[in-house]
């Protein structure tokens, strides 16, 4: 009988000891390991015109660097592929207790259109990104369908570890998309065909060099040219019932990609008529885009340009293949009467 009681006490003591071990580190002694601690990064891309997180659907790779208060690099991490699309992606870090600044460039892996100055920087300032261009006839040309480039920065993150309890801290990294998709359409008012050899479209801007904080640094002017040109015709039935009259509208669609657009930019959009070497449209590109900003809420010009990553413009061409400015234009499907330019 005494032996049974002794066994019961031994089993109870062992159970209590196991409970202390599995309860984590609520009891701290010199014999116990420190409580687990983890600092991880969560990425969010909701700085867009829909105000919704598009990170799982758009971002294909992440690169992050952590710097201490003295500005020295203490850690870098990267990830790519399907795990980013899970909707529950976190990038774990091995960082210990301390204060950190984080810089992120996302979309670089497999991206042949942008170069990062170094993946092992001595300071934040070395994390510059350059858009690649090709030199043609003295011009720096970009004619690529640019993959998405995203930037993020979080400063002064304080990471404090509780030695008596498990510690989990999540840093949210907000991203901004720098690359823009632009579609420029020319439509003939009289329905006559437009040959894609008749016109060329280009955008010029000096936005090829990005600082560590996503500011634009002085750079040579880039001439953006279309990566795709499409010819199309739309035929609509006539307005009078019982007739076979139709209306045909011919159009040329030019698809381009650009880098980050700034509100104080001097970027120019040019439509060139090739057969007589004449510019029929030459307008301040960003100023025209901002004509419809008010349709997207009461936000500053720069915030609108940074949130919007997809722009479209429709210009009407008359029978002499000149710009019919009096007919207005469509910007992102909004009808606009543009400022009257002086005759070209």
Instruction: With a cut of 70, say whether residue 185 has pLDDT above it.
Output: yes
Beta-sheet pairing, 139-142 with 222-224: parallel
Rounded CA separation 24/313 (Å): 61
Q: Enter the pTM of the model.
A: 0.87
What are the phi and psi torsion angles at 24 (to 5°)?
95, -130
- Give pLDDT tens digits for 61-79: 999 999 999 999 999 999 9
Q: Return the pLDDT at 195.
A: 82
Q: How confident is the model at residue 129 (pLDDT cuts 50, 70, 90)?
A: very high
Q: Return the pLDDT at 20.
A: 34
Residue 147 gets which letter from DSSP? P
| Average pLDDT over every residue of 297-311 | 96
Q: How confident is the model at residue 93 (pLDDT cuts 50, 70, 90)?
A: very high
Instruction: With a cut of 90, say whether residue 240 has pLDDT above it.
Output: no
The mean pLDDT of the chain is 88
- Give pLDDT tens digits for 12-35: 433 433 333 344 565 444 556 779
Rounded CA separation 62/81 (Å): 10
> pLDDT: is 191 or 287 the higher one?
287
Strand, helix or coil for residue 168: strand
Long-range contacts of 16-24 (CB under 8 A, 24+ apart): 24/165, 24/166
State which H helix or E strand residue 17 sits in: helix 2-22
Buried b (16+ CB within 10 A) or exposed e, 231-253: eeeeeeeeeeeeeeeeeebbbbb
- Give pLDDT tens digits for 135-153: 999 999 999 999 999 999 9
Cβ-in-10-Å burial (0-12, 13-18, 19+) of 172 comes to: exposed
């Amino acid at each position: 009988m005494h032996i049974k009681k002794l066994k019961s006490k031994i089993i109870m003591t062992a159970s209590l000891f196991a409970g202390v071990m599995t309860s984590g580190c609520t009891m701290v002694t010199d014999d116990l390991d420190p409580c687990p601690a983890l600092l991880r990064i969560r990425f969010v891309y909701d700085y867009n015109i829909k105000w919704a997180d598009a990170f799982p659907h758009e971002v294909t790779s992440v690169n992050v660097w952590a710097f201490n208060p003295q500005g020295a690099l203490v850690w870098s991490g990267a990830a790519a592929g399907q795990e980013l699309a899970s909707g529950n992606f976190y990038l774990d870090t091995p960082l210990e207790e301390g204060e950190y600044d984080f810089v992120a460039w996302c979309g670089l892996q497999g991206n042949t259109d942008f170069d990062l100055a170094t993946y092992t920087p001595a300071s934040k300032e070395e994390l510059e990104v350059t858009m690649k261009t090709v030199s043609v006839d003295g011009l720096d040309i970009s004619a690529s369908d640019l993959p998405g480039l995203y930037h993020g920065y979080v400063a002064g993150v304080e990471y404090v570890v509780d030695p008596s309890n498990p510690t989990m801290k999540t840093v949210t990294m907000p991203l901004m998309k720098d690359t823009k998709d632009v579609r420029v359409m020319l439509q003939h008012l009289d329905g006559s065909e437009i040959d894609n050899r008749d016109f060329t479209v280009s955008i010029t801007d000096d936005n090829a060099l990005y600082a560590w904080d996503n500011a634009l640094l002085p750079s040579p002017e880039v001439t953006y040219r279309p990566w795709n040109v499409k010819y199309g015709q739309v035929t609509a039935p006539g307005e009078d019932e019982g007739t076979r009259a139709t209306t045909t509208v011919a159009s040329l669609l030019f698809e381009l990609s650009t880098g980050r657009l700034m509100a104080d930019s001097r970027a120019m959009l040019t439509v060139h008529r090739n057969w007589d070497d004449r510019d029929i449209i030459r307008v301040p590109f960003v100023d025209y885009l901002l004509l419809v900003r008010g349709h997207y809420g009461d936000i500053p010009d720069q915030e609108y340009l940074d949130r919007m990553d997809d722009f479209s413009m429709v210009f009407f061409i008359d029978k002499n293949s000149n710009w019919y400015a009096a007919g207005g234009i469509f910007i992102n499907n909004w009808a606009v009467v543009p400022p009257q330019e002086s005759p070209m």
